[in-house]
Amino acid sequence: MQQKKLTIPDIRNRKNQTPIVELTAYDYPWARMVDAAGIDIILVGDSLGMVVLGYPDTVCVTMEEMLHHSKAVVRGVERALVVTDMPFGSYNRSIPDAIDNATRLLKEGHADAVKLEGGVTMAATVAAIVRAGIPVQGHIGLTPQTATSLGGFKVQGKNAEAARQLIDDARALEDAGCFSIVLEAIPAPLAEHITRQVTIPTIGIGAGAGCDGQVLVIHDLVGLYDRFTPKFVKQYARINEPVVEALTRYKEEVENRTFPTEAHSFSMKAEERDKLLDLY
Ligand code: KIV
């Protein structure tokens, strides 16, 4: 049976209700599995640069790459809301440029909404994109695209001054019209405080249990990315192990000729087979 597609109001109405579950996906088969599991929001995150494309960070990711993956994900989804990340450089040059790129992610990438990083400094850009009719998910705290300026992949908002800045960032994004905000790598009490201060849902990643929802990178959750696992990740499976085991068995069976068997082959009528001998 066709599932009813979630909408922006459905997500906004989940404030202080059942937690919102968000997870990344980057292609058609994974999008189908994530949707089948009943996840509410699928994020086509620019983390795809690292976990799918093998880049060292998310800075190199391009609009064309985001569009390519967004389209593939949307083809696999019935129910979840699809949010696609705006890559670095696609929204920070000028507001008209940001509106054009956000529009492309909806028109060509078929996303339902976009996500971009930054608080107070990005509020005018967010407001302009929202006025153009495009729903925006904010992202503050540890913002991977500008991690170098933040001193690396570190927990943010650990002292009162930095915490105040993040509270201002969250309020600015709410005023700019974001429908939700991702809070990444900030202390749990601060995330809980921000969650109480804003009327839109907060989605935590490394921000404790007091948010209105949680998001993770799917490759971390299922154990597909072995280069680095942040402290805030819970690994629910380690699927790279059974996959490597299956591939090793395939290699062995081809080499020792136990694959393919008759069950995986096509036969020929005996009289036609006998004619093969006369062909040359
Ligand atoms: O790109 C991404 O996957 C993200 C999540 C870490 C929230 O932005």
In angstroms, rounded to a whole number, what is the distance separating the alpha carbons of residues 265 and 235? 39
Q: Whose CA is nearest to atom 3 of ligand 1?
A: 45
Which run of H or E residues covers position 248? helix 240-255
In angstroms, rounded to a whole number, what is the distance separating the alpha carbons of residues 259 and 210? 53
Q: Whose CA is nearest to atom 8 of ligand 1?
A: 45
Nearest CA among 65, 69, 72, 103 for reference residue 87? 65
- Encoded amino acid at 228, one letter: F
What pTM, to 2 d.p., does this model score?
0.95
Superfamily of domain 8-238: Phosphoenolpyruvate-binding domains (3.20.20.60)
pLDDT of residue 25: 98
Q: Give the pLDDT confidence of 8-22 residue by residue, as tens digits.
A: 999 999 999 999 999
Q: pLDDT band at 150, cuts 50/70/90?
A: confident
133 CA distance to ligand 1 centroid (A)?
Answer: 23
How many CB atoms are located within 10 Å of the residue 12 CB? Answer: 16
Q: Name which of 69-78, 153-162, 227-236 the model is least confident about.
A: 227-236
Nearest CA among 153, 145, 66, 54 for reference residue 104? 66
pLDDT of residue 35: 98
Atom of ligand 1 nearest to the CA of 85: 1
Q: pLDDT band at 27, cuts 50/70/90?
A: very high
259 CA distance to ligand 1 centroid (A)?
Answer: 41
pLDDT of residue 280: 72
Q: pLDDT band at 151, cuts 50/70/90?
A: confident
Encoding tokens for residue 47? 């983390």
Question: What's the mean per-residue pLDDT of the chain?
Answer: 96
pLDDT of residue 263: 96
pLDDT of residue 147: 87
Q: Mutate which of 73, 90, 205, 231 to test ligand 1's pocket (most atoms within 8 Å of Cβ)? A: 205
Q: Give the pLDDT confidence of 203-215 residue by residue, as tens digits.
A: 999 999 999 999 9
Distances, alpha carbon 142 to alpha carbons 3, 225, 228, in Å: 34, 20, 16
Q: Looking at the predicted structure, is the pLDDT value of residue 113 above 90?
A: yes
Q: Looking at the predicted structure, is the pLDDT value of residue 142 above 80?
A: yes
In angstroms, rounded to a whole number, what is the distance separating the alpha carbons of residues 12 and 200? 6
Q: Looking at the predicted structure, is the pLDDT value of residue 226 above 80?
A: no
Q: What b-and-e string marks burial along 160-175, b requiring 16 or more CB atoms within 10 Å of the CB?
A: eeebeebbebbbbbbe
- Considering the candidates 184, 192, 252, 255, report the single residue annotated as catalytic: 184
Q: Give the pLDDT confidence of 116-139 residue by residue, as tens digits.
A: 999 999 999 999 999 999 999 999
Active site annotation includes 117 = no
Atom of ligand 1 nearest to the CA of 217: 3
Mean pLDDT of 136-158: 92
pLDDT of residue 152: 83
Structural domain spans, the chain: 8-238, 242-278
241 CA distance to ligand 1 centroid (A)?
Answer: 24
Mean pLDDT of 55-74: 97
258 CA distance to ligand 1 centroid (A)?
Answer: 44
| Cis amide prior to 19 (ω within 30 degrees) | no
Q: Looking at the predicted structure, is the pLDDT value of residue 259 above 80?
A: yes
pLDDT of residue 1: 72
| Ligand 1 touching residue 40 (CB < 6 A) | no
In angstroms, rounded to a whole number, what is the distance separating the alpha carbons of residues 202 and 180? 6
pLDDT of residue 77: 98
Q: Whose CA is nearest to atom 1 of ligand 1?
A: 45
Q: Looking at the predicted structure, is the pLDDT value of residue 110 above 90?
A: yes
Atom of ligand 1 nearest to the CA of 45: 1
pLDDT of residue 214: 98
Asked whether 202 and 180 are in contact (CB, 8 A), the reply is: yes
140 CA distance to ligand 1 centroid (A)?
Answer: 11
In angstroms, rounded to a whole number, what is the distance separating the alpha carbons of residues 132 and 274? 71
